[in-house]
């Protein structure tokens, strides 16, 4: 009797899915390889990293509209690479397990 009352009671909405994502070792390996690639691309001494990540002094001294756009685009590109790695590792179904779907009845 008590269990049915709890099951019928309205639950609060949760910001994450209630089903656990099941990543295999290969899925985690794919994702962390993309994270490592992104780290090496942006935070080591190479021409691409130097283009997107300039020092604060350089940015303050020569910041124009183009330089600001490059810095913003670098952040967008960084997020896009990480997101593409997550999609490659888990697929769309795996990503949908991480986030709950929005339902009007939860409001």
The HSE-up count of residue 97 (CA atoms within 13 Å, CB side) is 12
Report pLDDT for 54: 74
Long-range contacts made by residues 29-32, C-beta under 8 angstroms, separation at least 24?
30/85, 30/88, 30/89, 31/85, 31/86, 31/88, 31/89, 31/90
Report pLDDT for 80: 92
Give tens-digit pLDDT for 14-66: 555 566 666 788 888 988 999 999 888 888 888 877 777 777 777 777 778 88
pTM value is: 0.64
Question: In whole angstroms, what is the distance from residue 99 CA to residue 107 CA?
Answer: 17
Q: What is the mean pLDDT of the chain?
A: 76
Query: How many helices (H) and strands (E) in the chain?
Result: 5, 0
């Amino acid at each position: 009797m008590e269990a049915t009352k709890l099951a019928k009671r309205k639950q609060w909405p949760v910001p994450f899915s209630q089903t656990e994502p099941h990543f295999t070792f290969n899925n985690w390996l794919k994702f962390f390889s993309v994270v490592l690639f992104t780290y090496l691309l942006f935070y080591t001494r190479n021409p691409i990293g130097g283009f997107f990540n300039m020092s604060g002094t350089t940015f303050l001294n020569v910041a124009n509209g183009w330089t600001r756009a490059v810095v913003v685009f670098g952040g967008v590109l960084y997020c896009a690479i990480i997101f593409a790695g997550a999609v490659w590792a888990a697929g769309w179904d795996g990503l949908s397990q991480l986030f709950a779907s929005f339902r009007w009845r939860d409001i």
